[in-house]
A and B are shown apart, each in its own frame.
Chain A
Amino acid sequence: MSDTLTKAPPQAPTRPWAKIIGTAVLLVVLVLLPVLVGSHVAYLKLAQYVLIGAVGGIGLTLIVGQAGQLSLAHPFFLLLGAVSYAVLAGDPAETPDLVSLHWPPMLAVIGAVIICGLVGLAFAPVAGRVRGIYLGVASLSLVFLGLWLGQSLGILTGGTGSGRPPPTFSLFGFPFSNTTPAPTIAGVAIQKQQRLWYLFLAFAVLAYVLARGAVRGRIGRAWRAVRDNEAAAAAMGVSVARIKAGAFTISSAYAGLAGVMTALWLDLVKPDENEFTGNYSLTVSIAFLAIVIIGGLGSVPGAVVGAMVVYGLQQFFLLGANEFGWFAGAQFGGLSAVILAAFIYGLAVVLVVLFEPGGAAAIGRRLAASLSRKEQR
């Protein structure tokens, strides 16, 4: 991974008011999103989906971009997180033939994230021995392992036939499902999808803040040192093996959280029927890699932008197609929303690699720099 990435932004001499106001506006918009979309719940569902991509993408950008270790194992940890949550929080009364421990859901989420982190740590000896594309291939084996385990451990996963329902999330007795009466914000009922949005937003903000903290702190410097030159890092007193293992653990925990979110979003935990299509398949490995490349390797905000392109675009086009009649007449072949979105996402990857290897993050930095220069003039 190259050295063009994640330079510290130039310190502005005064308080970056534009940035503060921008962040505040963004947060307010995100908090009020359920009100803004109103009855068009589909867009909220889409936004939730983007947050899943963002949380997983942040996890991957830390390990691939910051620590310089190529991992394609993300879908395995997604599956592990989803199944762990369902097993830990499952109600034996609802799923009598499956292992269900009936933990409180919040505890189950934490448990699922920890399990994923530990399994990631167990993979660390492999990660410590092989590098680059070889590590990528080695990590790919986990996706196949996940496929096989998902099919054979039906007592945990519910099997590929029907899967198992994930337990409804609840916090201090407040269920994240439809209730009557429902609280309202500005006249919009806060039902299951709105509640899930706030839950996902909280998860995503937490994931974002922790990742930014790690990148800016001591651990982030150690990651970058190991990425750029292991020998030099070791000479400076960085324990290379420990740092690599730690990066894998943290990245896996992020993927685990994204897995829990996937289960709640889909109302279903179901292992894939094959390795190429599905929610925990090779396609998802590639999608996450595309997220971090489009966003700019190592950039946390970039991963969020990447998630918007990769996870958001296709479904946005589809929603638009149905609402405004775009791409009508594509019944028997022709340009459909799915095909157009695939082109854009492929094109974005190619353009980024050719013209702006720093991805969306570099574009953003350049824009910010030119803005502040104008301000100073």
Chain B
Amino acid sequence: MIRGRSKAIAAGALALVLAACGSTADTGAGATGAGGIKTDKGVTDTTISLGIMGDTSGVFKNLGAAINAGNQLWVDDVNAKGGICNRQLKLEVVDHGYKADTAKTLYPQLEPKVLGIVQLLGSPVLAALKQNLIDDNMTAAPASWSSQILNNPNIMMIGTTYDLEIVNGMAYLQQQGLIKDGDTVGHIYIDGEYGGNGLLGSKYYAGVHKLNVKEAKITSTDNDLTNIVTGFKGDGVKAIVLTTTPGQSASALAANQALALNVPVLGNNPTFDPALLKTPAAGALGNLYVAASSAPFSSETPKAAEIAAAYKAKYPGSPLNGGVDVGYVEGLVWQSVLTKACENKDLSRAGVQTALKSLNSVKTDDLVAELDYSSPGSPPTRGVYIAKVDAKAEGGLTEVAPLFTAPDVAGYKAPFQK
């Protein structure tokens, strides 16, 4: 009975499928809209839609919400001035909670609605969506700064990558006389895209300046780094480099103080979170230098100050961190690309790619260093902001060296640089 039933069902289904079968070529040709401008997805005669794939419910929800807010502030500013290409900007926001599987489901829903992605947060998400971006020729600005993802031509990196943050940071420490050639330096890094990329930087710098780097690999859930710092003390390190989470930074800094090691500590942009200033480790954070591609929240760069004021006015009571600058500057770069694409009369996805590759000096009012997108595979800029932890500053950081570019960075070759 069962067998007969299955056969009948299979035959029925097959008949249905065959009856409905056909073949077609994709009709993906673009249309021409207002102003004689070529368009395909996400652009109408009155609006340009851009996507956000952010995190407002997962591990980076504080940072993610601020980045979203930065994107929105940029859209408000552009629309107030009449939009781009006589079109108003519109954001389609989705929240993937920093989960690659969620993002993978949400992407096909977002994809047909938008021209490009103004913010794609999270390296696991980025890795999972790599093929989708290539298949759909979708340009995306990542909120993740590993130079290891630059083999994807659809990634529009905004600012400096983790490896170069470290090279610049170490050069700054040396310039300040805190380390010298031949010293031993410890580097604690999370195994993965983020940590691995930071490590490339310290290895390169060590090669040039004959430093001895002690590597300590951890996972992102390790909480107590005291034993590693103790080991570093035995090794006689003169500085510690961190490519870690904020909580781990606090542990390393607390150990640095408790063990009376008190060496300067250099961290990538994500190593610091202002929330650390409310933890018991607050007193030990003073040794931390943060090398970041975008300006800290309290930056005196005029544009950054303006954004900070607008953010506090529009989102009172929300967390103050550098995310809002990151979000705004992502927008500014998109603005340059869209303006260029508009000049070329091609606001299709392919047109965006063409416009992007033709830009070799994007200026962002010094929110990040000048960007050059003409050589894919190479980070678009090599300058960083260096800031020091300061409990009195808004956002917890005071900049000590705005847009610092060390001479050593010119010789560094990123993994996919040609």
Contact = CB atoms under 8 A, between A and B. Distances in A.
A162 B148 CA distance: 8
Contacts of B9: 23-24, 27-28
B25 A31 contact: no
A215 interface: no
B24 A39 contact: no
Interface in B48-107: 56-59, 65, 68-69, 92, 94-102, 104-107
Given A266-B100, A318-B94, A189 B26 contact: yes
Contacts of A163: 127
Contacts of A322: 92, 94, 106, 109-110
Nearest to A330: B56
A161 B148 contact: yes
B177 interface: no
B68 A184 contact: no
Given A45-B108, A338-B95, A332 B24 contact: no
A337 B94 CA distance: 11
B36 interface: no
A208 to B, nearest CB: 12
A315 B108 contact: no
Contacts of B193: 160-162
A210 to B, nearest CB: 13
A28 B9 CA distance: 8
Contacts of A199: none
Interface string B315-329: 101110000000000
Interface string B101-140: 1101111111010000000000010011011100100000
Interface size class of A (residues with CB under 8 A): 35 or more
Interface in A144-168: 147, 151, 159-163, 165
Contacts of A323: 109
B105 A42 contact: yes
Given A161-B196, A267-B131, A24 B95 contact: no
Interface string B19-58: 0111111100000000000000000000000000000111
Interface in B4-22: 5, 8-9, 12-13, 16-17, 20-22
B192 interface: yes
Contacts of B107: 42
A204 to B, nearest CB: 15
B22 A276 contact: no
Interface residues of B, number: 63
Given A42-B108, A162-B127, A273-B220, A151 B94 contact: no
Contacts of A32: 16
Interface string A17-56: 0001001100110011001000111101110010000000
A338 B57 contact: yes
Contact of A319 (B5, B100, B105): B105
A342 B132 CA distance: 27
A266 B220 contact: no
Contacts of A274: 219-221
A40 B148 contact: no
A42 B57 contact: no
Contacts of A35: 20
A187 B149 CA distance: 37
| A193, A265, A331: most-surrounded residue (chain B CB, <10 A) | A331
- Complex A-B, nearest 7 residue pairs according to Cβ-Cβ distance, in ascending order: A42-B109, A273-B192, A41-B108, A274-B221, A186-B20, A42-B108, A274-B219
Interface of B: 1, 5, 8-9, 12-13, 16-17, 20-26, 56-59, 65, 68-69, 92, 94-102, 104-110, 112, 124, 127-128, 130-132, 135, 146, 148-149, 190-193, 196-197, 219-221, 315, 317-319
Given A181-B23, A332-B315, 15 more contacts: A24-B8, A24-B12, A159-B196, A161-B197, A162-B127, A184-B21, A266-B100, A268-B128, A273-B191, A274-B219, A277-B98, A279-B100, A318-B105, A331-B65, A332-B65
21 contacts: A27-B13, A41-B109, A42-B105, A42-B107, A49-B104, A49-B105, A161-B192, A162-B193, A165-B131, A181-B24, A181-B26, A184-B21, A186-B20, A267-B128, A267-B130, A268-B100, A268-B130, A273-B219, A322-B92, A331-B56, A338-B57
